[in-house]
Chain A
């Protein structure tokens, strides 16, 4: 989603992601969450210059927000009763709690999107390798990124094929009934595909030794070190201020 974010090492992006999640989970007020979300959005805007890629998440967040709002209105029993209609009771704290919930969900969703779209699959693999995760597992990220869209395309072809044979797929009930004629061919294809991929990889020397090189590398630069140190400092200070009153 960003143009300049990839200039940072993926480990810097990971610490930023952890920091945002930490704030999202610990912040209790709408003001705190609002400020954190604003910081997160501003960072994207400064570094990429647009929200173009964030558009897709707006609808999802609206749906999620609506759900949170309805649940809070129906089940929140804190504060004073402000409205009653039969068994339906709405309390005064329902709306602030819904707003806090929506902001938390938005922050977690947005920062996750920011992290997972800011680096290439190769960068993620290299990051995991730097964390001493065996490359056989680390490379699964790249393989997943390559094959998931292919599998999706294949599933669509299977659906098209069955629809031309007269399979109805106009409603959710139709979709449920269509699972066997669409999912079974998909399963057979997936088994064939994975067998061939694994063979192709082995015959190109995959797994021949415990180590392998990569055609690119990642390295922490001075600005990464400064940023990571600063972010850890913020987290440490925050934890300390929370723990001190308990001692």
Chain B
């Protein structure tokens, strides 16, 4: 086989950091490989990709000992802006990679840097957009794209360069299951038809296994195991079977009168740009509920959450929280009983230590110092961050920052917690860590409303499922009834995975074994 890249890293270390980020890496990538790299928190996945692209050592300050050659070229000798001849790199957040105001200019960006003439650029841009399923989008403003479309535009910009290697860092982390499938399918096609070499880092990799030929597991900066997709699949089956044995069950007393926490009646909302947010929503959340609101990207899930806490004002209908109609005059009082966990923890973290961050809302309420300190310790203990109490929050990993955001919210002792895609952008372990904490809170009598497009987690943790489709509620069912509604859910793009056979149809023997 034709080796396209050789990565030999003895050690990689960032300044002011004691531990090694990568060590003892010896990896050969063959032309046409579709490699999936996965691993836990701070395992070095992204660092490895940054080394492959030359961002380390050219862009990020790091001590790298070892050699990385791509198509026979030592990356240390190559300027970063020449790497676009060999590889395309796609990062997680599409908005940080869309450079131009309209779709056409964005896809053309790399080609313009390669000094291609206008007519050639035109042809490549149109063909590439067609390939990613966005033909006719040339004149669309990039600001009007959905998350999935934006991801595909970034992919188009990279593919237009006609590079032999594609490096992708969590390319589908913000997409719904349908969007993820579309991207993987197109990548699989490219790998098969054009012999494109793909290296992809993903935390939840089951959906991409159909297309990959190698799976690498990273831990503490080292490649600890290389699997074939089939071996990885069987390993996961065993793991999930074990997980199922410790399954979760909700014991809501159905005879007890239900206490209403939130009631949304005939609510509609339309954004300023005339795009619909929510239409004719009727929903009641009861004390002790763990409700998962699911739906495809753009179905109105986040709008619903923002309406619930008064960040958006409904154009029609009424919202009651704790039996009080939400209005400007009582919003502060009502919100004191609600905790809202945003998708991005970085939108709220500002303090220079964890304890200062957690104590912020208590300080705003004018709580006494002894109570404040006790509460800070309790909350940090609950999320497992007590030992980092005096650390700067920006030194934590993304998952830990999300836990810190949760601790900050818990400090206010909310009765009702709304979590808007709290596991987005986190790896499987981090995601489960957040979900376990929410589950514990639910068992302690808190009411939880979870906005998510992670169908497996919604199924595993909640007692009620609300499915949104095109800004309306399509289904409001108990989670135990999912099987009965599988067809209706499939029809609106929500294909709930079986807890064990997450990769149905992969292998006949596999299915029978399960």
Contact = CB atoms under 8 A, between A and B. Distances in A.
B378 interface: no
B348 A162 contact: yes
Nearest to B347: A161
B347 A207 contact: no
Interface in A159-197: 160-168, 180-182, 184-185, 188-189, 192-193, 196-197
Interface stretch (A55-63, A92-100, A210-218, A232-240): A210-218
Interface in B307-356: 309, 311, 332, 335-336, 338, 340, 342, 344, 346-350
Contact of B348 (A161, A180, A207, A212): A161
Interface residues of B, number: 65
Nearest to B104: A215
Contact of B332 (A157, A166, A197, A206): A166
B81 interface: yes
A214 B112 contact: yes
A185 B349 contact: yes
B96 A197 contact: yes
A164 B101 contact: no
Contacts of A198: 59
B328 to A, nearest CB: 10
Given A185-B350, A202-B81, A164 B309 contact: yes
Nearest to B352: A184
B125 interface: yes
Nearest to A191: B394
A117 to B, nearest CB: 14
Nearest to A217: B118
B269 interface: no
B100 A146 contact: yes
A173 to B, nearest CB: 15
Contacts of B346: 185, 188-189, 192
Nearest to A145: B101
B105 interface: yes
Contact of A203 (B89, B116, B309): B89
A221 interface: no
B121 A204 contact: no
A14 B176 CA distance: 46
A161 B335 CA distance: 12
B96 A193 contact: yes
A121 B101 contact: yes
A182 B351 CA distance: 11
A61 B270 CA distance: 30
A88 interface: no
Nearest to B85: A205
A146 B101 contact: yes
A170 to B, nearest CB: 9
A29 interface: no
Given A212-B113, A215-B104, A166 B81 contact: no
Contact of A166 (B95, B342, B365): B365
Given A120-B101, A146-B99, A165-B408, A204 B394 contact: no
A160 B96 contact: no
Interface string B92-117: 01011111110011001111111111
A206 B108 CA distance: 12
A242 interface: no
A180 B104 contact: no
Contacts of B97: 196-197, 200
Interface string A99-130: 00000000000000000000011100000000
A163 B334 CA distance: 12
Interface residues of A, number: 51
A217 B117 CA distance: 11
B262 interface: no
B99 A213 contact: no
A161 B342 CA distance: 7
A149 interface: yes
A166 B112 contact: no
Contacts of A166: 332, 335-336, 361, 364-365, 412
Contacts of A203: 53, 55, 80-81, 83-84, 88-89
A239 to B, nearest CB: 38
B409 interface: yes
A150 B95 CA distance: 8
B360 interface: yes
A52 interface: no
Contacts of A120: 101
A145 B99 CA distance: 10
A208 interface: yes
A149 B95 CA distance: 12
- Name which of B84, B114, B347 has the most chain A CB atoms within 10 A of its CB: B347
Contacts of A205: 81-82, 84-85, 110, 113-114, 161
Contacts of B220: none
A158 B342 CA distance: 10
Interface string B213-227: 000000000000000
B143 interface: yes
A212 B347 CA distance: 37
A205 to B, nearest CB: 3
Contacts of B80: 202-203
B157 interface: yes
- Pick from A150, A167, A203, A215 the residue with the most CB of B within 10 Å: A203
Contact of A213 (B55, B91, B115, B306): B115
A204 B157 contact: yes
B197 interface: no
Contact of B115 (A145, A207, A212): A212
A209 interface: yes
Contacts of B122: 215
B183 interface: no
B350 A181 contact: yes
Nearest to B108: A215
Contact of A215 (B96, B105, B306): B105
Given A200-B97, A203-B81, A205-B110, 8 more contacts: A146-B98, A150-B143, A158-B348, A185-B350, A203-B80, A203-B89, A212-B112, A215-B111
30 contacts: A122-B100, A122-B105, A158-B348, A160-B311, A160-B347, A163-B311, A164-B340, A166-B332, A166-B336, A168-B332, A184-B350, A189-B347, A192-B346, A193-B96, A196-B91, A197-B99, A204-B88, A204-B110, A204-B157, A205-B81, A205-B114, A208-B81, A208-B84, A212-B113, A212-B115, A213-B111, A215-B108, A215-B118, A215-B121, A216-B118
Interface of B: 53, 55, 59, 79-85, 88-89, 91, 93, 95-101, 104-105, 108-118, 121-122, 125, 142-143, 157-158, 161, 306, 309, 311, 332, 335-336, 338, 340, 342, 344, 346-350, 360-361, 364-365, 394, 408-409, 412
